[in-house]
Structure 1
Amino acid sequence: MINFIYALIPVILITGLGWLLAQRNFLPAEGWRAIERLVYFIFFPALIINVLASASFEIVPWTMVLALIGSQMALAILGLVAKRADDGPRKGSIIQSNVRWNTFVGLSIASALFGEPGLALMAIAVAVLTPVANVVSVLALTYFAEDSGSPKPHVMMDMIRNPLIIGCIVGIALNLLDIAPTGMAEKTLDILGEATLALGLLVVGAAVDLKAFNRAGPTTLIWSAVRLLGFPVAALAAGLLLNLAPDSLAIVVIAASTPTASSGYILARQLGGDATLSANLIAVQTVFSVLSMPAIYALYLLVRA
């Protein structure tokens, strides 16, 4: 447990630094968006390609994949069957919040706790959870959005162009073909990848709007608790049921216990979801995950003992 706290504290500090820099207008809003684009389109895919291409997997962790997707879909269904008072754009934002996760936080903690093997397993989680989250989020937001007459997005085309998914495919393909990057190629990917976690966490912090706490009503608090506790508990139960190896189970729990991704606000605004509710959910979950993640990890250690 001490190791987890040591891994979490730097994540909190760097995220807090991002928030402080944004509050002090260290960069204009356009600057933060530019950094986010660099991380999303260049640094993050480079990290994923390098890690997956050189990872040592004796067997494909299919049970880990099943645990991740199963628990993710359970949270999506829970949002879908919520009471009718949450129908409409609010429901779309709730479902999106339930299925999205913060990859930067997950990768940072996995790297600090387990090193390269942990990064490789967390990259598999990225390959699994990211496409499912995108498909479910887009479908939910567009289905429950108020009809504005604007054209619907092409989900499959967006998936094909997603740089994280492309990075996962390239990395896994290189691994299967046994042509992992070496020499200058490996060093280049190393340098690009090293920028991912720090810049990613700074961007996460810069996106946190603490004023959302003033707007947070019962809906925000209830669904934040559902997301922060329900997703990891479902993932832990699925992992135990499938008899996951300890390292795979830890990665599943860490990935599921991260707060929802800050990119959800932009998608909700673009696709007709309740953007204000999405912003509230992101802010509340990001802050309270500081408490919920250690609690969930302690539960994991308890049931694993």
Structure 2
Amino acid sequence: MSAFLAALVPVILIVALGRFLGWRKVLAEEGWRGIERLAYVVLFPALIIRALANAPFEEAPWKLPVILLSAQCLLGAFGLLARAWPDITRPAVGSIIQSNVRWNTFVALSIGSALFGDEGLALVSIAAAAMIPAANILSVTALTAHAERESIPKRNPVIELTRNPLIIACFIGGLMAAFDIEIPELLDLSIELLGQGTIALGLLAAGAGMNVGALGRSGLKTLTWSLVRLLALPAVAIGGALALGLTGTPFAIAVICASVPTATSSYILARQLGGDAPLAANLIAMQTVLSIITMPVIWFACLRAGFF
């Protein structure tokens, strides 16, 4: 438990620093978006390629992505029940489904690598290879299907995945691992240097982009669906891990990836595709704050149960 808190607290501090820097307007909003874009297009892919190419696996951990992908799809389907919420709008349903399926990869990378080193980093990258495509497909489908504006641009999520730098990086790193291709030493050192800035910049940008004021506008709907996302996704993942016999570090990584809050990019996509953008902002802020409590509780419960 102390090891997990030691990994979680620096994440909280860096996100809080990002929020402070954003509040103080050390950088303009466009500057933070530029940093976020740089991490997404260059730094994060470099980290994934190196992590997968150098992954210390004796056998492919296929159970991990299967479990997380299944949990993600189930939570997405569960979000359809939001239609029964009194006076809820269609765009709000789309935003809730998106919140249920997206995850903050930078938080998972930070905690996974802090606890389990290179193996943890590689396992989170493998989880990302499965969950990121699913999150994009499910989110775009849900938001466009529930949008009320006819002018919403039509996007093909499958085609967009072929242009996604993270998916391309997962493909390259996976091929290198499968064919035992070593990265040349100088290139490996260069990629390592790029990767070292990824997590910190990603967390700072996430903090700067978080709308703390949204907490004041949050109501019962935001609280309820935030708790559904933070508790149900790890519960389903844990059940799947037990059913498939997942053990050790992969089990722990499954819990970490399922327990992190939704991604801060949810707000931008909701705004672009006709979702309820204010609700998306509320869900991001609420889950980020609540996860400080729920993540250690879930981790401690798993330790007490002897799951890993």
TM-score range, shorter chain: over 0.9
What is the TM-score when the length of structure 2 is the normalising length? 0.97
Q: Summarize deviations over 1:128-168 as a string: whole Å, max 9, x none.
A: 11000100000000001013234311212211111111110
Q: Does the 8 A contact of 2:152 with 2:273 survive in 1? A: no
Aligned mates of 2:200, 2:249 — CA distance in 1: 24
Aligned mates of 1:93, 1:65 — CA distance in 2: 24
Instruction: Tell me which residue corresponds to 1:56.
Output: 56
SS of the equivalent of 2:197 reads helix
Q: Does the 8 A contact of 2:108 with 2:256 survive in 1? A: yes
Mapped pair 1:72 → 2:72: yes
Shift in alpha-carbon separation, 1:151–1:209, aligned structure 2, 3 A: closer
SS of the equivalent of 1:82 reads helix
Aligned mates of 2:172, 2:107 — CA distance in 1: 23
Mapped pair 1:121 → 2:123: yes
Aligned mates of 1:35, 1:66 — CA distance in 2: 32
Aligned mates of 1:284, 1:180 — CA distance in 2: 43
1:86-165 map, 5 Å: 86-165=88-167
Instruction: Tell me which residue corresponds to 2:277.
Output: 275
1:96 counterpart letter in structure 2: Q
Aligned mates of 2:237, 2:129 — CA distance in 1: 16
Provide structure 1 residue ranges, at least 5 long, that are not aligned to the other structure: none
Out of 165, 172, 190, which is 1:188 matched to? 190
Instruction: Out of 78-87 and 110-119, give the one that drifted further.
Output: 78-87
Q: Does the 8 A contact of 2:152 with 2:274 survive in 1? A: no
1:132 counterpart letter in structure 2: A
Instruction: Tell me which residue corresponds to 1:259.
Output: 261
Aligned mates of 1:303, 1:235 — CA distance in 2: 15
| Superposition RMSD in Å | 1.1
1:209 counterpart letter in structure 2: N
1:175 counterpart letter in structure 2: A
Aligned mates of 1:88, 1:24 — CA distance in 2: 36
CA drift at 1:87: 5.0
SS of the equivalent of 2:82 reads coil
Q: Summarize deviations over 1:94-141 as a string: whole Å, max 9, x none.
A: 000000000000000001100001111111011011000100000000
Instruction: Out of 92-101 and 62-71, give the one that drifted further.
Output: 62-71
2:57 counterpart letter in structure 1: F
| Identity level (%) | 51
Instruction: Out of 260-269 and 77-86, give the one that drifted further.
Output: 77-86
Q: Does the 8 A contact of 2:230 with 2:259 survive in 1? A: yes
Aligned mates of 1:55, 1:164 — CA distance in 2: 17
CA drift at 1:65: 1.8
Q: Summarize deviations over 1:44-64 as a string: whole Å, max 9, x none.
A: 000000000111222221221
Instruction: Tell me which residue corresponds to 2:172.
Output: 170
2:76 counterpart letter in structure 1: A
2:133 counterpart letter in structure 1: P
Aligned mates of 1:285, 1:99 — CA distance in 2: 13
SS of the equivalent of 1:262 reads coil
What is the TM-score when the length of structure 1 is the normalising length? 0.98
Provide structure 2 residue ranges, at least 5 long, that are not aligned to the other structure: none
Out of 202, 223, 226, which is 1:224 matched to? 226
Instruction: Tell me which residue corresponds to 2:17.
Output: 17
SS of the equivalent of 2:162 reads helix
Aligned mates of 2:98, 2:276 — CA distance in 1: 11
1:202 counterpart letter in structure 2: L
2:52 counterpart letter in structure 1: L
Q: Does the 8 A contact of 2:83 with 2:93 survive in 1? A: no
Mapped pair 1:299 → 2:301: yes
1:151 counterpart letter in structure 2: P
SS of the equivalent of 1:119 reads helix
